[in-house]
């Protein structure tokens, strides 16, 4: 928790209010979901005291939490206003997951959504740690499976209701 306190202090200095927390990728991390939830709860409690929001994201190459549904289950069990879910199209689509269960997630528990593009990986993540070269914006991941936009998302105008469906 000392490291988290230091990060939160730095965030305050920078004027940041939201921390992105990714699932663990270390090969020796615990598979015990009760321990994972307890750790997330302790961090969320500290974040709430500091006025910081945390978005928890399942990395597709995470050791034990590598699907958005697994991340949501942990966020749901922690049940803290300071902890929400991050949805990243790359990590969702890289595992071949869908958003069919998304209506069960209260919108206020979604910290943010990231739309990312990357080449399709025929062989999964074997031997790639971390797969940073694969994260270039070279196409292949069908981000359209996550949302639909009637215009390029980089247009320099604010999104309005109905832009993303």
Q: Residue 41 maps to which CATH number?
A: 3.20.20.150
For 102, which DSSP code?
A: G
Query: Does 155 map to a domain?
Result: no
Query: Does 159 map to a domain?
Result: no
151 Cβ contact list (under 8 Å, min separation 6): 163
Structural domain count of the chain? 1
Query: Does 152 map to a domain?
Result: no
Other beta carbons within 10 angstroms of residue 99's beta carbon come to 16
Query: Does 162 map to a domain?
Result: no
Q: How far is CA 53 from CA 13, 46, 121, 124, in A?
A: 15, 10, 32, 32
* Distance between CA atoms of residues 75 and 47, nearest Å: 14
Query: Does 22 map to a domain?
Result: yes
Q: What's the whole-number average pLDDT of the chain?
A: 81
* Distance between CA atoms of residues 145 and 31, nearest Å: 30
Residue in the structure block whose two tokens are 């309005």: 160
Query: Does 20 map to a domain?
Result: yes
pLDDT value at residue 116:
80
Query: Does 91 map to a domain?
Result: yes
Half-sphere exposure of residue 126, counting CA atoms within 13 Å on the CB side? Answer: 3
Mean pLDDT, to the nearest integer, of 6-19?
Answer: 94
Query: Does 49 map to a domain?
Result: yes
Domain that holds residue 24: 2-145
pLDDT band per the 50, 70, 90 thresholds, residue 96: confident
Mean pLDDT, to the nearest integer, of 19-29?
Answer: 95
The token pair at 3 is: 């490291």
Beta bridge partners of 87: 113
* Distance between CA atoms of residues 41 and 12, nearest Å: 21
pLDDT value at residue 95:
87
**For residue 79, is pLDDT > 60?**
yes
């Amino acid at each position: 928790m000392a490291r988290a306190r230091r990060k939160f202090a730095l965030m305050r200095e920078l004027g940041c209010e939201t921390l992105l927390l990714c699932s663990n990728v270390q090969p020796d991390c615990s598979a015990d979901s009760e321990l994972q939830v307890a750790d997330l709860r302790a961090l969320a409690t500290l974040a709430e005291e500091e006025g910081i929001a945390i978005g928890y994201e399942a990395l597709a190459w995470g050791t034990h939490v590598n699907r958005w549904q697994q991340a949501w289950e942990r966020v749901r069990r922690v049940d803290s206003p300071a902890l929400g879910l991050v949805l990243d199209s790359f990590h969702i689509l890289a595992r071949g997951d869908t958003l069919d269960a998304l209506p069960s997630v209260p919108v206020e528990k979604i910290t943010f959504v990231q739309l990312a593009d990357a080449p399709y990986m025929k062989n999964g993540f074997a031997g790639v740690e971390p797969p940073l070269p694969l994260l270039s914006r070279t196409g292949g991941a069908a981000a359209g499976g996550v949302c639909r936009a009637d215009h390029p998302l980089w247009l320099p105008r604010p999104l309005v209701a109905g832009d993303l469906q």
